[in-house]
């Protein structure tokens, strides 16, 4: 038994697919309680338990529970029981973050949300980050003009990216597979500052639709942060993200970015929010 109340802030936290979270509020052999957070467009893996009976209660948003081949909507403030040996999948098909309380008896063993090993295809194998070349720009523009991406972004196009490549204050990076196909790109800005409290901006970071859900955004962000910190004067990295782009916000928060009031010098998207990451230097 716990010594006192437990909350999301004090519970053990696990993640899946980079952006989904589970907070383990109670974890006994006979009973477990978790609070799961799924950004729009995400889901658990379809699975079944031999002995475990579960109850899913929606705290916020609207869930879609797939029971076998039947899709059941579960609105906020309601719940659904899932019997043992019932194949099920929790999905967030809505536009808001889904928060669900999951009660399981007995405790679920292993990680029900862990994805099966990905196929060893060109999207997964041999990915790495390198500086962008002019010959990459057709692929970059294709990624940013995709129907599910372009509405999140500001100015773009081939000419805009060419200017970025020529600007000494900016760096343009692409994440490619072993066949050198571009799967994602990112842009850093503000690199020429000499101030000891310099703030570098992640001007843009976009993953191609076919590359999402495979950790590529995390790989690219890690590289962008490393490049920013290669400059000893840099103490802060910032970005702006659409206030309704919950999936991206979840990824950034997992790296330690925090939403803060925007400084007067920060230029944001019309619906952008300011997020900041502070380096811990020795």
The topology under which CATH files domain 128-278 is Aminopeptidase (3.40.630)
The topology under which CATH files domain 12-105 is Jelly Rolls (2.60.120)
Contact 89, 43 (CB under 8 A): yes
Range(s) of the chain covered by CATH 2.60.120.10: 12-105
Q: What is the pLDDT of residue 21?
A: 87
Q: What is the pLDDT of residue 141?
A: 94
The overall pTM is greater than 0.75:
no
Range(s) of the chain covered by CATH 3.40.630.30: 128-278
Q: What is the pLDDT of residue 163?
A: 95
What does the longest C-alpha to C-alpha distance in the chain come to?
A: 62
Q: What is the pLDDT of residue 197?
A: 62
Report helix, strand or coil for 96.
coil
Q: pLDDT of the chain along its 282 residues, tens only? A: 556 788 888 888 888 776 788 999 999 999 999 999 998 878 888 888 889 999 999 999 999 999 988 889 999 999 999 999 999 999 988 878 899 999 999 988 766 665 544 443 334 456 889 999 999 999 999 999 987 777 777 788 899 999 999 999 999 999 998 888 999 999 999 888 766 567 899 999 999 887 777 778 888 998 899 888 887 778 889 999 988 788 788 888 888 899 999 988 888 878 889 999 887 544
Buried/exposed 180-197: b ≥16 CB within 10 Å, e otherwise: ebbbbbbbbbbbeeeeee
Q: What is the pLDDT of residue 110?
A: 63
Paired with 147 in beta bridges are none
Q: What is the pLDDT of residue 119?
A: 40
Backbone φ and ψ of 137, nearest 5°: -70, -30
């Amino acid at each position: 038994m716990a010594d006192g109340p437990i909350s999301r802030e004090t519970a053990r936290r696990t993640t899946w697919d980079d952006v989904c979270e589970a907070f383990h509020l109670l974890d006994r052999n006979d009973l477990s309680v978790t609070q799961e957070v799924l950004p729009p467009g995400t889901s658990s893996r379809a699975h079944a338990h031999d002995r475990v009976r579960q109850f899913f209660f929606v705290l916020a948003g609207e869930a879609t529970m797939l029971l076998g081949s039947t899709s059941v909507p579960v609105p906020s403030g309601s719940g659904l029981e899932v019997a043992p040996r019932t194949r099920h999948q929790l999905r967030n098909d809505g536009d808001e973050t889904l928060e669900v309380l999951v009660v399981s008896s007995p405790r679920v063993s292993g990680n029900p949300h862990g994805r099966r090993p990905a196929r060893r295809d060109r999207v997964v194998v041999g990915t790495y980050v390198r500086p962008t070349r002019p010959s990459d720009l057709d692929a970059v523009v294709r990624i940013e003009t995709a129907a599910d991406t372009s509405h999140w972004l500001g100015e773009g196009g081939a000419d805009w990216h060419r200017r970025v490549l020529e600007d000494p204050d900016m760096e343009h990076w692409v994440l490619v597979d072993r066949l050198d196909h571009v799967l994602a790109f990112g842009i850093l800005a503000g690199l020429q500052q000499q101030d000891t409290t310099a703030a570098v901006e992640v001007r843009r970071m976009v993953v191609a639709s076919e590359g999402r859900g495979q950790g590529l955004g995390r790989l690219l962000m890690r590289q962008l942060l490393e490049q920013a910190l290669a400059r000893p004067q840099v103490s802060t990295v910032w970005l702006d993200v659409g206030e309704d782009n919950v999936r991206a916000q979840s990824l950034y928060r997992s790296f330690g970015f925090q939403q803060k009031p925007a400084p007067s010098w920060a230029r944001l998207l019309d619906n952008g929010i300011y997020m900041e990451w502070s380096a811990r230097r020795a």
